[in-house]
A = this chain, B = another copy of it.
Amino acid sequence: MLSKPIRKICVVITARPSYSRIKSALTAINMHPQLELQLVVAASALLDRYGKAFEYIEQDGFHIAAKVFNVLEGENLTAQAKTTGLGILELATVFENLKPDAVVTIADRFETMATAVAASYMNIPLVHIQGGEVTGSIDEKVRHAITKLADLHLVASEDAYQRVIKLGETEASVVITGCPSLDIALEVIQKDMPRFDPLSKYGGVGTDRFDPDDFVVVLQHPVTTEYYEARKQIEISLQAIKELDKSCLWFWPNVDAGSDGTSKGIRAFRENNPTSKIHFFKNMEPSDFLRLLLNSKCLIGNSSVGIRESSFLGIPVVDIGSRQAGRSRGANVLHVAYNQEDILSAIRYQLNHGKYNPENIYGDGKAGVRIADALANQPLTFDKKISY
């Protein structure tokens, strides 16, 4: 009897949060007897300013097959387009040399279009993780366009499955795996890990006081299509947290047009508020972040962590603005606009409410293994036609 040939699976990681989402799947691919992992690290995942994700990746024991620097300076929209164009140029060469059997692209960041175009144009079966969701901004266009380029869709939820089908993909090409970011959350819950001091482990800047028993977490990204608003938005949240006057861990946003406005807003706030109770971090290992989140009183901002992991963990969330609009959400999420009073009152409501019951909307914490299984067993093709 002939054994099936090993499939070479090339996963392209372009940003710190994408790594968190895919980590458990990487482990499962590495352990799967029918799969060989080819890991490519590119874009902001290589940059100091965005937390040098590649160092965590290497520390976690993954071998990086190729690094691709392709981020254009400017943090404006022209730079986003060019970063993507350069990514295509370089990833085409990487794929030419690695000759993968399938390429995996994760979610919907603007630069992931480079992975999708290079692979699909080279007739390499393209696997899209986390398609079928709905958000605002350029991510919305990117996500659905990648669905139309992709050949195999590994989605996080029933809701996403239905949307991908409506987009004209065949049922046979869509598999619900759950979101792999919940795999780390499950591990954090299951392992009874001792507390750690984030300030001494990760440095960061701001206050050196931190109350491990009573604190909130903020994670707020700039919203691409509201470029000029980025600074104003971050200032509103900063003022709300200042007025809250509670121990706070604030995480730096990742690379996006507008993040310069965000960064400046944060820097100006720090200069003018040297005694605030906020401590700022640039980066953190995902599992450490989730351990902190699990012990926090509330998550504030516009990160997808508020929608996915927090729902699974039962953490109260104040979701600000349009960035997560349209996504399936649990009972734990309270939505507000960019308004200082509304944000503050929502935080107080959530602090008063306390923990919520966990929900499995985005999976059960076992997505990584399901993704590896799908990569090993689903047909890998590259020629498709719309279903209607």
Contacts and interface: CB of A to CB of B under 8 A. Distances in A.
A141 interface: yes
Interface stretch (A6-14, A16-24, A130-138, A304-312): A130-138
Nearest to A382: B225
Contacts of A148: 141, 144-145, 147-148
Contacts of A137: 383
Contacts of A81: 88, 91-92, 117-118, 121-122
B149 A141 contact: yes
Interface residues of A, number: 74
Contacts of A120: 138, 141
Given A78-B122, A145-B145, A90 B93 contact: yes
Interface stretch (A160-168, A183-191, A235-243, A356-364): A160-168
A326 to B, nearest CB: 6
Contacts of A95: 78
A340 B225 CA distance: 48
A166 B168 contact: yes
A348 interface: no
16 contacts: A46-B74, A49-B260, A66-B97, A77-B121, A85-B87, A85-B88, A85-B89, A85-B117, A88-B88, A90-B90, A93-B93, A93-B94, A123-B225, A140-B385, A141-B148, A144-B168
